[in-house]
Amino acid sequence: MFKNIHIYHAIFTIILVYFLTSCKSHVRSITDYSSQKSIQADHAMVASAHPIATKIGLDILKKGGNAVDAAIAVQFALAVCYPNAGNIGGGGFMVLRQSNGDCATLDFREKAPAKAHRDMFLDEEGNAIIEKSQYGRLAAGTPGTVDGMVQAFEKYSKLKNWGILIQPSIDLAAGGYAITQREADNLNEEQNNFIKYNRFDTPFHKNSWKKGDIISHPDLAKTLQRIKKRGRSGFYEGETAKCIVREMNAGGGIISLEDLKNYRAVWRAPLITTYKGNKIIGMPPPSSGGLCLSQLLKMIEPYNLSQMGFQSAEYVHLIVEAERRVYADRAKHMGDADFYPVPVKMLIDSTYISSRMVDFDKSKASISKNITHGSAQSEETTHFCIVDSEGNAASVTTTLNGSYGAFTVVKGAGFLLNNEMDDFSIKPGTPNMYGLIGSEANKIEPNKRMLSSMTPTIIEKDGKLLMVVGTPGGSTIITSVLQTIVNVLEFDMTIADAVHAPRFHHQWVPDHIFVEKSAIYQSAREQLKSMGHSIKERGNIGRVEGILIKNGKLQGAADIRGDDDVRGF
Ligand code: DON
């Protein structure tokens, strides 16, 4: 009898060991990868903030998936390997152009929960409580990413296999991956926030992270498994929804089961404008990105920029004066057009644009105090670009808002909450974390979407795809996209040079030109100062990804400012 038990036990142990080792090899940690910053390819390309996500997207393209299939796979992968901004607890915008020229945009921006109200981030004296709009549960809007991906899949997927798009991210979350030096530094820097804004030891907790350490996300793997199995209900209902509401009830949060059940991403008509014969396809409100980019391009269109020269004082002055005026308009007129009458047509009308630049003095800086918005006649995010072998293109910017969002991980579900509520104007004139101010148009209202600067963009020339571009960077997103486009169209740069070139930024208030260390030669800086500009050096501006189609080839660039990576075949 006992002898038999020993035999059964031995057989059972052998089977168990075999099972565990085969499982383990199935979810092996990913340790061997590196970033590639530029490439040329014949058929298809992916550029994203992380090499693992880029590879996952490229594998989908190689399996015959189209740009949307790859975009969905990359979005879920970034939620695992790039938790600063990749997300399922946040939102974003997708701009699409099909090879036949049809365009579409998808708004999967977060919404204010139904219990949100205008003064929810003010104390009794009416002072803004920044900590509440930027950290922890109350800072979170109802997440939009999962419904966005489901809707994109239903409308455009070629593979028609939802599971195949998510499985690589489930494996990645379960098996883990080795972190880069940059991520180790970020995690070490933010340890106190992870400790302060969580009630348990999240996968991000550790005394000291170093390059090569493995991070895995078992709870996130389970959540992704539920999304794989049940689509939107795997997130907005059932176990995941219960985890989110339990997290809210643990203190301070207001997202309810109803908010989750009611959330829907929205297909919106693209905002289309032209610049010197190029068709610019951008995101309409609730992003200010497409609108501000259109205004900027229209304001600078009459000028010969290539003659002025890259980052000459004359060029920087023109761009800065246009930016000053556009950001004043943004603060006054822009918000969620489902709640506030954003005068889109007026803001890009050519007579209006000329009137805004009528007081532009070629030799002197304006003063932001004297520049107000025009009137009507009557602040880690991440971007990825994909082109498939049929010439369909996807440009997607997605975010939790700040790096690691609200820092709060949903217990049991393993993902970070966004802190997107800070993108509302929490009090007129009070700057948000990117120094942006706003007013009535962008006040908090239940179920409203907060104004964004995200600027996923696609450019077409003579009916053909020319460029796919976008970036993170809060308020600097719009101006970084603008400069990358101008670098290519006006200064004839390769996409790699255009993406890697140093950048500058002005946003009306505060009244400074912010410059990267290597931007704008000293002589031009002196000239700008003598015109009345104030110049302030700061760290990196944006992390641009771009794909350019030139002579029938795809040329891609991933920003040197991060671990970003571009690959193609
Ligand atoms: O939607 C927006 O404009 C901001 N939430 C974007 C934040 C961002 O780009 C942060 N990245 N550096």
What pLDDT, in 10s, does the model give residues 318-342?
999 999 999 999 999 999 999 999 9
Cβ neighbours of residue 27 under 8 Å, at least 6 residues apart?
A: 171, 174, 175
pLDDT confidence bin for 371, thresholds 50/70/90 = confident
Give nearest CA residue, ligand 1 atom 2: 452
Separation of CA 150 and ligand 1 centre (Å): 23
Ligand 1 pocket test target in 434, 436, 480 with most atoms within 8 Å of CB: 434
Please state the pTM of the whole predicted model.
0.94
Question: Which contacts qualify for 322-325: CB closer than 8 Å, 24 or more apart?
Answer: 322/295, 322/296, 322/357, 323/296, 323/479, 323/505, 323/506, 323/507, 323/508, 324/366, 324/368, 324/371, 324/506, 324/508, 324/511, 325/295, 325/299, 325/356, 325/357, 325/371, 325/374, 325/508
The secondary element (H helix, E strand) that includes residue 128 is none
Strands 513-516 and 535-538, bridge-based pairing: parallel
Burial (CB count <10 Å: 0-12, 13-18, 19+), residue 257: middle
C-alpha separations of 389 from 47, 71, 98, 148, 395 in Å? 15, 14, 11, 23, 15
- Let me know: does 507 contact 443? Beta carbons within 8 Å: no
Write out pLDDT tens, residues 433-490.
999 999 899 999 999 999 999 999 999 999 999 999 999 999 999 999 999 999 999 9
- Tell me, yes or no, if 381 is annotated catalytic: yes
What's the pLDDT at 378?
Answer: 47
Give nearest CA residue, ligand 1 atom 10: 380
The owner of tokens 């641009």 is: 544
Separation of CA 480 and ligand 1 centre (Å): 13
Ligand 1 pocket test target in 288, 398, 399 with most atoms within 8 Å of CB: 399
Catalytic: which of 142, 180, 381, 398? 381
Q: Atom of ligand 1 at shortest distance to CA of 471?
A: 9
Separation of CA 85 and ligand 1 centre (Å): 9
Separation of CA 522 and ligand 1 centre (Å): 30
As separate numbers, helices (DSSP H) first and strands (DSSP E) second, the chain gives 20, 19
Mean pLDDT (the chain) is 95
Ligand 1 pocket test target in 401, 426, 448 with most atoms within 8 Å of CB: 401
Q: Which of 72-81, 162-171, 368-377 has the lowest mean pLDDT?
A: 368-377
What's the pLDDT at 7?
Answer: 59
Write out pLDDT tens, residues 85-137.
999 999 999 999 999 999 999 999 999 999 999 999 999 999 999 999 999 99
φ/ψ of 117, rounded to 5, equals -150, 165
pLDDT at 192 over 90: yes
Q: Atom of ligand 1 at shortest distance to CA of 472?
A: 9
How far is residue 424's CA from residue 448's CA, in Å, rounded to a whole number? 10
pLDDT at 1 over 50: no
Residues with CB under 6 A from ligand 1: 380-381, 399, 401, 420, 423, 452-454, 472-474, 477
Q: Atom of ligand 1 at shortest distance to CA of 420?
A: 5
Write out pLDDT tens, residues 518-549.
999 999 999 999 999 999 999 999 999 999 99
Percent of the chain, pLDDT > 70? 95
Percent of the chain, pLDDT > 90? 93
Separation of CA 331 and ligand 1 centre (Å): 16
Q: For the CA atoms of the chain, what is the radius of gyration?
A: 24
Q: Atom of ligand 1 at shortest distance to CA of 109?
A: 1
The secondary element (H helix, E strand) that includes residue 528 is helix 522-530
What's the pLDDT at 15?
Answer: 52
Separation of CA 384 and ligand 1 centre (Å): 14
What's the pLDDT at 26?
Answer: 60
